[in-house]
Amino acid sequence: MGREAFIGSGSSRVTHSAGGGHKIPRLERTVTLLMLGRLRHRGSDTICRIRNVSEGGMRIDTGSPLEKGDRVAIEARSGVCIDGQVAWTNQLAAGIAFTHNVDHQEMLSPPVGPSGKRLAARSPRFHATARARLQTAGEALTLRLVDISLGGCRVESDAGFPLGADGSLTIPGLPPLACTSRWATGNRAGLIFHVRPDFGSFARWLEAPDLRFAAP
């Protein structure tokens, strides 16, 4: 009997026969999309782009190359981590073969909240402790990151936060980010970025512990 391994095109699996030949039958129920996910790899996590997914695997883009055979886990909208192995790589693209078939429609669905309704999907957030500096029209604040995503971040400071104020956020290792404070409670606030940072630069920043987890 042939052995199947996901090859990552999102539409095929490769079947290896006992005689060394192979054929590539079309895999049904493949979903083509562009979604952000969390990649857990070598004891840390970073962001990835999910290009397509099926019940047996997915194709992703990363900020740094993976290696064939690497063990990984992918978290999509559902918040559930799916274990897999890198089946192939092509620069910053990789095909991930799941360790077992999954319900990929459920994996791509937002989690269910206490009310029983699906929660709004959002970009994955990543824990961080780096220092940052927020420059507004009236003052400059020294901040500490709590978590960060492509769309914004949660910060804390010993000073108060002006709600709704526009400013420029400087985080070592990332370009300056124009932002607005969307909410503030106590010594914490949520900042929304006007323009998302570049995906590749952000992914590599997450993979640099000396930047992401700099001493507060």
- 86-100 pLDDT per residue, tens: 999 999 999 999 999
Confidence of residue 70 (pLDDT cuts 50, 70, 90): very high
pLDDT of residue 30: 64
Task: Take residue 158 and report the two structure tokens written for it.
Answer: 């010993």
For the cut 60, the answer to whether the pLDDT of residue 24 exceeds it is: no
Phi/psi at 172 (5° precision): -55, 130
pLDDT of residue 25: 36
For the cut 70, the answer to whether the pLDDT of residue 6 exceeds it is: no
C-alpha of 84 from chain center: 16
Confidence of residue 216 (pLDDT cuts 50, 70, 90): low
Query: Which comes out higher in pLDDT, residue 204 or 8?
Result: 204
pLDDT of residue 34: 81
pLDDT of residue 3: 33
3-state percent breakdown (helix, strand, coil) of the chain, nearest 5:
5, 50, 45
Query: Would you list the DSSP string of 15-84?
Result: EE-TTS-EE-PBPSS-EEEEEEEEEEETTEEEEEEEEEE-SSEEEEE-SS---TT-EEEEE-TT--EEEE
Q: In degrees, to the nearest 5, what angle opens at C-alpha 205 toward C-alphas 164 and 54?
A: 95
Q: What's the whole-number average pLDDT of the chain? A: 83
pLDDT of residue 108: 75
pLDDT of residue 7: 31
State percent of the chain over pLDDT 90: 58
Q: Is this structure's pTM higher than 0.85?
A: no
pLDDT tens-digit series, residues 162-202? 778 899 999 999 999 999 999 999 889 999 999 999 999 99
Q: Are strands 131-136 and 93-98 parallel, antiparallel or unpaired?
A: unpaired
Least confident window among 9-13, 43-47, 132-136: 9-13
